Structure 1
Amino acid sequence: MSKEVKIITTEDGSHSLFLPELNETYHSFHGAYRESVHVFMLYGIEAWYSRNPNHFPIRVFEVGFGTGLNAWLTLVWAEQYKVPVLYHSIEPYPLEKEIYSQLNYTDVDHTIFHYAPHFQRLHEAKWGEGVVISEYFNMKKDISTLEDAVLYPTDVIYFDAFAPNKQPELWTKEMLAKVTDTMNPGAVFTTYCAKGQVKRDLNDLDLTVETLPGPPGKKEMTRAWRREG
């Protein structure tokens, strides 16, 4: 896949990236920032934490580091709640500095602007090594495809790969199983995707699957839980 990308502005004023080779954007046209908050913060880590308020650290795995938006919002959440997070993300095509340095996520919500420097630190952190980014946020980024990635036990999964019609190899039952097999009891898997086959496969993998309201501009999304015990 080509690494050439173009910065675009979505409907909530936040940036995303357009990848010409796939004719695909990294986020929803209806709002990159709002989509990330809705799918991965509200229905992901916050939902898990509401069920497990005394379980530390929270182990998060992200498929697709991309622009770093999900990682940065998770760091902000961890710092605000003072909850330790161990964050593992994979990305086969890391962005160049000339791209990520222009992204405007830190300007979207001025109430968290003081966390802006951490966005650059996330991108500048060495790949393949565990790095302390802030008091409550440790991260390891791997330059890897999902097929080749080495995974660890996980509490929260952000499955943020490109859409199934663009990269179907990432959404096969085999790849989903590789990810869900890492889930600790009570762990949550969340994705913007609401495709019926994905939900059926997650159900077959012994998860409790929910269809939830999607972010702005999208009717539905999917969340799934690993059963306790």
Structure 2
Amino acid sequence: MEQEVRIESTADGSHTLFVPSLNEHYHSVNGAKQESDHIYIKAGLLHLLKDDIKILEIGFGTGLNAYLSFQVTQNTAKRIDYTSLELYPLSMDIVGQLNYVESGEPENKEYFTQLHACDWGKRNEITSSFYLTKIQTDFSKLDFPLYLDTTFDVIYFDAFAPEKQSEMWSQRIFDTLYTLTNKEGILTTYCAKGVVRRMLLQAGYNVERLAGPPGKREILRATKL
């Protein structure tokens, strides 16, 4: 199952994808890489003060969040078990054109490719400190307890915007994600809309508004106290 996409450059030079059918980009046009780093790595992963971390990502997309998380394991003592849900995996032709790996890092280019090429529906060892499980599914229709038999320390909520795919932003989903969040675990998302904040609060999270990356005034971080 594939979705028509078009590669475009963003303001920081890194690529994003544009989906004509939704008139929507995968990332901020103000900078894809700096957006992911700001919201999911700095406000999410690196905010958690532990070394063994289980991450759940809603929307594997270009693999940028997974790759940046993988890089953290290369530069710190953190060990990550990463699970990602995605309905529309990218073709390897598109993956091969994405420019997230810095020049001069050929070994990381191989790792980035492996994140996409590794098997779906099983736990893959990328390195001894980074494991990846990709599940091809529509998470808005997912029976979470049957599909996911673990809980998570960090959740990257990176679905398309509520006005584009409203079914991806429901109280049922946030209630379920709360049950899948470990104590003191966190959920981060680029969407700071009041309705999203209220759903996170109703689910039971403590919710903070944080300064956003370039082009975005605020983001949300939700913590299970």
Distance 2:199 2:122 in 1: 32
Q: In the alignment, what sits opposite 1:82?
A: 77
Cα distance, 1:4 vs. partner?
Answer: 0.5
Cα contact 2:2–2:90 (8 A) shared by 1: no
Distance 1:206 1:112 in 2: 42
Structure 2 residue corresponding to 1:93, chosen from 88, 93, 110: 88
Aligned pairs for 1:140-155 (under 5 A) are 140-146=133-139, 147-148=141-142, 150-151=147-148, 152-155=150-153
Structure 1 residue corresponding to 2:123, chosen from 101, 120, 130: 130
Paired-residue identity, %:
41
Structure 2 residue corresponding to 1:171, chosen from 169, 172, 184: 169
Distance 1:114 1:192 in 2: 30
TM-score (norm 1): 0.92
Distance verdict in 2 for CA 1:2–1:126, change over 3 Å: closer
Q: In the alignment, what sits opposite 1:15?
A: 15
Q: In the alignment, what sits opposite 1:194?
A: 192
Partner SS state of residue 155, structure 1: strand
Q: In the alignment, what sits opposite 1:219?
A: 217
Equivalent residue letter for 2:9? T
Distance 1:142 1:197 in 2: 28
Superposed CA RMSD in Å reads 1.5
Equivalent residue letter for 2:79? P
Equivalent residue letter for 1:29? V
Q: In the alignment, what sits opposite 1:26?
A: 26
Q: In the alignment, what sits opposite 2:54?
A: 59
Cα distance, 1:61 vs. partner?
Answer: 0.2
Distance verdict in 2 for CA 1:222–1:2, change over 3 Å: same
Cα contact 1:76–1:112 (8 A) shared by 2: no
Distance 1:223 1:112 in 2: 32
Cα contact 1:12–1:30 (8 A) shared by 2: yes
Partner SS state of residue 44, structure 2: helix
Distance 2:207 2:99 in 1: 34
Cα distance, 1:116 vs. partner?
Answer: 2.5
Equivalent residue letter for 1:4? E
Partner SS state of residue 78, structure 1: helix
Q: Deviations over 1:186-220 (max 9, x none)?
A: 00000000010110111111111000001111000
Q: Deviations over 1:33-52 (max 9, x none)?
A: 0000000000000001xxx3
Cα distance, 1:111 vs. partner?
Answer: 8.0
Partner SS state of residue 81, structure 2: strand
Structure 2 segments unaligned to the other structure (5+ residues): none
TM-score (norm 2): 0.94
Structure 1 segments unaligned to the other structure (5+ residues): none
Regions of 4+ moved over 4 Å: 110-114
